[in-house]
Structure 1
Amino acid sequence: MSMDETIPYPGIEGILSADRFGTYLRWAGEDRNKAVSLYTLNALLSESLQLPLHMLEVALRNRIHQIMTEAHGDTWFDMPEHQLNATQADMLARARQELAEKGKDDTPARIVAALTFGFWTAMLGKEYENLWQQTLKDIARREDGKGLRRKDFTKSLGAIRTLRNRLAHHETVLYWDLPKHYANILQMIAWLSPVAADWCRAYCRFQSLYPVEGVALIS
């Protein structure tokens, strides 16, 4: 979409709120139509990033569950030594409660699917360094087959979580270095599952949507 394209949509700023639309107006130098274009670009890029984020979450939880099941059985998450992060017990309890409210048995597969992204990223925290060395290191490999340190794998994970949360709340992300974050997401997916990364590259529209010249914002 050309940033010079006129997209009037009269009155749309009224539903977006003055504060939210005001950000885009400032970035557009008070050019109302350009502000609408920027808002639209933000929405389209946000939508496109949901696909690789979706795959990252699915691949991460399933690889952790697979490797931990092989080492400790499919109810490994109930073992006290695997609950070093205090909030994880609450996350596990909430997952079971949600299943109970839906009238579903809390089978391991259902619990794994119900646990949030925060649970899985917590499994890679520094308190789990020993578990990484012993077991979790097997969830991922570099492209050349070499292993990864926990810090190598998690160095961009905090920013990815923040990006994911902003997208979930429909916040602006245009001022972020989105190509960098997209590349980091794909890198993590490739380490977890090369074929999953290939799928993302085939179907994610981010690169075709992101302007070749970048996004010019007036500060």
Structure 2
Amino acid sequence: MGVQHRWIDETLSSTRFRPYLRKMDGDCATAIDLYWWNVEVSAAFYPALHCLELALRNALHRQLVERFGRPGWWDVAPLEDRHYALVGKAADKVRQQLRQRRPVTPDDLVAELSFGFWVWLVGKEYHRSLWEPWLHRAFPHRRQPRSALYRDLDEVRRFRNRIMHYEPIHHRHLEADHATILRLIGCLCPEVLVQLRRRDQVETILARRPERGGERR
């Protein structure tokens, strides 16, 4: 890369930089622009992902507390073994963090359980046991069947994980990703969507995407 771009090899790595370079037809300067734009647009998605994750887990948690009559509903809910295991791992992690300063509370576990855990509760495994009797109520403004809702949530889960692991997202249809996240938030809580739209910067950043030859779209 040359002395002036030594940071790419030493910090980013040439392997991780290669997709940006390939996208820009080997032009290092515009590839660097694309890399930093990828960082910028990834950060811009954070508020929407933040709102969706909080809205999803709290809406599902409320319904499950009502259904099973206890804050720690996972103790009696018909979860699959792999999902029970995730609850156990979350509890172990919280106990390690607290270092016995106080008991682990249900709120602690709700906050620790991953986005994927909440998405999986909308999956077909729980259609009859949880979705039909209770969890559909968590999405009062939805127009999709559960299967389509799950597909969207699972795609957002994969997208979120790319962002959180600092992976490239520049190659995706980011306008569609953004629209999906906003639609899902609206299914859960339109009031939050109103608040988010006043602050969301994704469309602004998308309009500044670098193009080959150093031009911006």
Q: Tell me the TM-score range normalised by the shorter chain.
A: 0.7 to 0.9
Report the Cα distance in structure 2 between the residues aligned to 1:117 and 1:17, rounded to whole angstroms.
29
Q: Does 1:158 align with 2:154?
A: yes
Q: CA deviation at 1:217?
A: 6.6
Residue 112 (structure 1) aligns with: 110
Report the Cα distance in structure 2 between the residues aligned to 1:112 and 1:166, rounded to whole angstroms.
23
Q: Does 1:94 align with 2:89?
A: yes
Residue 77 (structure 1) aligns with: 74
Q: 2:30–2:211: 8 Å Cα contact kept in structure 1?
A: no
What do the CA deviations read for 1:1-37 (whole angstroms, capped 9, x no partner)?
xxxxxxxx75332321111122211211222111111
Percent of aligned pairs sharing the same letter? 29
Q: CA deviation at 1:52?
A: 0.9
Structure 1 unmatched ranges of 5 or more: 1-8
Residue 131 (structure 2) aligns with: 132
Q: 1:137–1:149: 8 Å Cα contact kept in structure 2?
A: no
Root mean square deviation, CA, Å:
2.0
Q: 1:137–1:148: 8 Å Cα contact kept in structure 2?
A: no
Q: 2:57–2:118: 8 Å Cα contact kept in structure 1?
A: yes
Greater displacement, 181-190 / 12-21: 12-21
Residue 36 (structure 2) aligns with: 40
Structure 2 unmatched ranges of 5 or more: none
Report the Cα distance in structure 2 between the residues aligned to 1:161 and 1:202, rounded to whole angstroms.
24
Report the Cα distance in structure 2 between the residues aligned to 1:217 and 1:167, rounded to whole angstroms.
23
Q: Does 1:54 align with 2:53?
A: no
Q: 2:74–2:84: 8 Å Cα contact kept in structure 1?
A: no
Greater displacement, 194-203 / 31-40: 194-203
Report the Cα distance in structure 2 between the residues aligned to 1:141 and 1:152, rounded to whole angstroms.
15
Report the Cα distance in structure 2 between the residues aligned to 1:150 and 1:207, rounded to whole angstroms.
28
Report the Cα distance in structure 2 between the residues aligned to 1:16 and 1:193, rounded to whole angstroms.
39
Q: CA deviation at 1:43?
A: 0.5
Q: 2:182–2:193: 8 Å Cα contact kept in structure 1?
A: yes
Q: 1:48–1:205: 8 Å Cα contact kept in structure 2?
A: yes
Which of 186, 193, 196 is residue 197 of structure 1 equivalent to?
Answer: 193
Which of 20, 25, 36 is residue 24 of structure 1 equivalent to?
Answer: 20
Q: CA deviation at 1:215?
A: 6.3
Q: Which amino acid aligns with 1:201?
A: R
Q: 1:140–1:191: 8 Å Cα contact kept in structure 2?
A: yes
The alpha-carbon distance between structure 1 residues 46 and 147, as it changes in their structure 2 partners (threshold 3 A), is closer
